[in-house]
């Protein structure tokens, strides 16, 4: 990849650093840092803000404004449970932010199949590549998540940290990032692997990585959205209570194809029989 084209990636990441760090920190705190650490610091601040803003807004809506509408009173998590989730997530956040920092470093050095502008490929190709990217990510996260359950040492030492939240009244939007750091990184790695397989729009890749904070908040709120084929909170709550179903991320398709799908409405019907 030509140096002139790689400069487009460098210019874009510099812009992101200026927007986040330039508005929130004195320049003397970050301008002298090596580029990689500027990127990590920007990702850490942006990721932390996104986690707290999305978590608080989501919790305020479902637990206060719509109290007893979406969830019965006994399904609302305690303040203690939410604070524990925040504590676990914030311990892991510095490590989580290393992954997008590494992916940006590889992109800036031309090691991936990323492209900088939609006009480089055209809108039709962009949409096809985006769909292919999401398919690779869905496939990768399904198998990574499933193996974190099936390989006993991985479950015991990594994934079990997240599965202490195994009832409705222990799950909340803040549980979405409450993982062992290595567990969270492993489940996000398919986003980076996809860059070496699928031509990917750089800005879309970064946006999808950070939108994970919002998506994971959504699937841990225990509210069944009933939007087929989306792997919403109704499906993911079952995953937290049975441990053997609904490993998928965005959709139910991988679970449906591989026989690990459990439908929330059928599950509720079975419980009242």
- The total of structural domains in the chain comes to 1
SS3 sequence of 249-267: CCECHHHHHHCCCCCHHHH
Q: Between the CA of residue 273 and those of 71, 75, 268, what are the distances in Å? A: 22, 21, 9
Q: At residue 268, does pLDDT exceed 60?
A: no
Could you tell me what percent of the chain has a pLDDT over 90? 74
Q: What pLDDT is stored for residue 269 in this prediction?
A: 43
How far, in Å, CA of 166 to CA of 237, rounded?
8
The domain containing residue 55 runs over which residues? 1-272
pTM of the entire predicted model: 0.91
How far, in Å, CA of 51 to CA of 177, rounded?
8
């Amino acid at each position: 990849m030509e140096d002139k084209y790689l400069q487009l990636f460098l210019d874009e990441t510099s812009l992101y650093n200026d927007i986040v760090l330039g508005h929130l920190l004195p320049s003397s705190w970050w301008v002298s840092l090596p580029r990689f650490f500027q990127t990590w610091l920007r990702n850490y601040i942006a990721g932390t803000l996104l986690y707290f803003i999305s978590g608080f807004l989501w919790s305020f809506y479902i637990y206060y404004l719509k109290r007893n509408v979406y969830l019965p009173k006994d399904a609302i998590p305690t303040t203690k449970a939410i604070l524990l989730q925040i504590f676990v997530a914030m311990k892991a956040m510095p490590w989580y932010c290393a992954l997008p920092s590494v992916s940006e470093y590889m992109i800036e050095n031309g090691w991936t199949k990323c492209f900088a502008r939609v006009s480089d490929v055209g809108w039709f190709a962009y949409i096809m590549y985006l769909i292919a990217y999401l398919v690779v990510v869905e496939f990768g996260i399904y198998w990574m998540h499933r193996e974190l359950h099936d390989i006993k040492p991985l479950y015991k030492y990594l994934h079990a940290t997240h599965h202490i939240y195994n009832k409705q009244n222990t799950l909340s939007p803040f549980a979405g990032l409450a993982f062992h750091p290595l567990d969270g990184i492993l489940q996000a790695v398919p986003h980076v692997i996809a860059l070496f397989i699928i031509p990917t729009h750089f800005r879309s890749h970064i946006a999808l990585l950070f939108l994970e904070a919002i998506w994971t908040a959504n699937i841990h709120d225990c509210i069944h959205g009933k939007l087929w084929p989306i792997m919403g909170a109704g499906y993911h709550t079952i995953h937290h209570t049975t441990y053997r179903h609904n490993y998928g991320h965005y959709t139910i398709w991988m679970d449906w194809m591989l026989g690990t799908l459990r439908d929330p409405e059928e599950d509720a019907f079975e419980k009242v029989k």
